[in-house]
Amino acid sequence: MIETVRTNGARCEDFFSPCEGIGLPRAWSKRLLLEIWRRRRCMLLFLDAVIMFSVFLIAYLVRFQTGLQDYFAAKEHLDFEAYFMSAYIRAAIIFTLLWVFLMVRDGVYSHRLISAGSPRAEIQNILKTGLESLAILMAISFLFRGFLLSRFVYGMAFAFGAILIIGSRRVGRALSQKVFQLGVPKRQTLVIGTNPLAIEFATTLEKGSNGFQEILGFLEFPEEKCSNIQGSPDCRILGVAEDIDRIRGKMEFDRVIVSAADFLGPMEKSRAPLLMRILNYCEAYKIPLYLISFSTDVLVLRSEMGSYRGIPLLLLRDSAQHPFYFVVKRFLDLILSALILTLGLPLWLIISIAIKITSPGPVLYVQERVGRNGKPFKMLKFRSMVEDADKRLKNIVDLSSLPEPVFKIRDDPRVTRIGSFLRKSSLDEIPQLLNVIKGEMSIVGPRPEQIELVKMYNEHQWRRLKTKPGITGYQQVMNRGDLCLARRVEYDLYYLKHQSIWLDLIILLRTIIVVIRGDGIL
């Protein structure tokens, strides 16, 4: 039996909407707690503002009211403490307003489903908006001498603020589970249609909401049958799509989800009036209606949603297509590659001598791999196998008989003694920094694959080639040792959709941990 919660038409999809009319427990303490919970977004904004303003003043006190000031060469004197304090208060107010405004702009405090994201995405958004507000404040300080204050205070305020704001989110997620035990109603969603895309979305919504969301049920089309997928919520069929008004008379729901796949193709003309009827009904009762577009594994930004003369349009492109990200990443690739090659030159010479002494053959191993958009390039590595390793591969693995284009040889007999150490420490990858400098690879990216295996890719697998391959990458540090190609491609496509400088830095940190632990080759 499906349990329902009456909300008397309550809808809380908008920013400061408190979900009026939700029935509360009788105990006044629980009612107070749930009232606070219903207005948590407003309170979260207020808490963030207090944190931002407070950390700015704390940073000022640390800089000027402790012994730390003795380490700075600044000539500021605290004889004018009142002036300095007032200047920093003004800067703190501007910093707070900027950061809060940017987070409001990016939907951090919004209840709307389209603003929802994973905890990792929320953290990235907090850091991004914080850096933007810091950059704007720095620019203001150059334009107006009254704000030409300590950069140390600016930087410490951002660091402290980011840590406390992110920490408050973690505490909030932990407390939310306790609040649900007191009887706070979950958000109820009605899904129209039972095609695989609709069921996949329902599964994602329930599993990814940390208990906040619940699928009330499905309304099906007469010619459709529920196609369950593994791990999805049961197809709780409440009726047919035409019965939406009758269903609402029996149970309340907070939003309606429909799939574009149910209203396009052969059924477009016959179902168009039904879609308009559902839209009119939802608007009349102020129920948010969301349309699921086709699943393409492509990240869509809010700035890429719009319409042309009333026709809804989505600009489909991965974040990897954004030119600014490419410019910054290329700059970091060149700087890091040059530093590592220069500072580690004595070690690279020792490795080269060790390779030459322990086995006959060249120091570097050169193999043709597939780069961005399928363009081949010659990848460099310190040789870790015997000289004729490629010829011996045919005796070990039959590439034509592989069930899928991926393989990994355990205890490869072609690996030399020094090669085993190089692979374990991932030092054999160092010459690929030359490929990075040449622009053929990046430090972070999908694994460069062999041409013979790429020829066996299907269209979905080919999408992992849309960006430069990397020496390390998300798949390499998250999926080590897993031979399932589908899982590898899944990680690569996740990276394509979410890649950013922050994610690249996280991958680099995880790579260092993996190498130190000696978990195997990248």
Q: Is residue 52 part of a domain?
A: yes
| 467 and 487 belong to one structural domain | yes
pLDDT (0 to 100) of residue 21: 41
Mean pLDDT of 328-344: 92
pLDDT tens digits along 134-179: 888 888 877 776 666 777 888 888 899 999 998 888 887 777 766 6
Clarify whether residues 47 and 95 are in a common domain: yes
Cβ atoms of 212 and 188 closer than 8 Å = no
pLDDT at 443: 94
Highest mean pLDDT among 74-88, 274-288, 299-313, 317-331: 274-288
β strands within 385-480, DSSP E: 442-444, 449-450, 470-472
Has residue 1 got a pLDDT over 50?
no
Please classify residue 329 by burial: count the beta carbons closer than 10 Å to its beta carbon, then call 0-12 exposed, 13-18 middle and 19+ buried: buried
pLDDT tier at 334 (50, 70, 90 boundaries)? very high
Residues 289-322 as b/e (b if ≥16 CB within 10 A, e otherwise) read bbebeeeeebbbeeeeeeeeeeeeeeeeebbbee
Domain of 251: which CATH number? Answer: 3.40.50
Statement to judge: residues 477 and 399 lie in one domain: yes
Structural domain contains residue 229: yes
Is position 124 within any domain?
Answer: yes
Of 180, 215, 247, the residue at which a domain comes to its end is 180
pTM over 0.95: no
Q: Among 295, 311, 335, identify where a domain stops.
A: 295
Q: Among residues 155, 180, 205, which one ends one of the domains?
A: 180
The pLDDT value given to residue 333 = 93
Q: Cβ distance 295 to 200 under 8 Å?
A: yes
Residues 197 and 338 in one domain: no
pLDDT given at position 352 = 92
The C-alpha R_g of the chain, in whole angstroms, comes to: 28
The pLDDT of residue 482 is above 70: no
Same structural domain, 273 and 359: no
Residue 21 lies in a domain: no
Task: Print the domain residue range for 487.
Answer: 323-517
User: Is residue 304 one of the residues assigned to a domain?
Assistant: no
Structural domain contains residue 313: no
Specify whether 145 is located in the same domain as 80: yes
pLDDT at 392: 63
> CA-CA distances (angstroms) from residue 424 to 102, 334, 475, 522?
45, 25, 17, 9
Whether residue 253 is contained in a domain is answered as yes
Residues 368, 257 share a domain: no
Pairing outcome for strands 213-220 and 187-192: parallel
What is the rounded CA–CA span in Å between residue 257 and residue 275?
11
Higher pLDDT, 127 or 280: 127
Same domain membership, residue 476 and residue 404: yes
Q: Are residues 199 and 164 in the same domain?
A: no
Q: What pLDDT does 123 receive?
A: 83
pLDDT tens sequence across 198-251: 887 788 777 766 667 778 888 887 666 655 544 455 567 888 888 787 887 788
For the ranges 94-108, 218-232, 296-310, the maximum mean pLDDT occurs at 94-108
Helix (H) / strand (E) containing 312: strand 311-314
Do 52 and 200 lie in one domain? The reply is no
Q: What's the confidence (pLDDT) of residue 97? A: 92
Same domain for 511 and 481, yes or no, is yes
Span of 84-88, 118-122, 321-325 with lowest mean pLDDT: 321-325
Residue 318 lies in a domain: no
Residue-wise pLDDT tens digits, 490-511: 888 888 877 888 889 999 988 8
Predicted local distance difference test score (pLDDT) of residue 82: 53
Average of per-residue pLDDT values in the chain? 75
* Structure letter (DSSP) for residue 381: E
The answer to whether residues 501 and 366 belong to one domain is yes
Domain count, the chain: 3
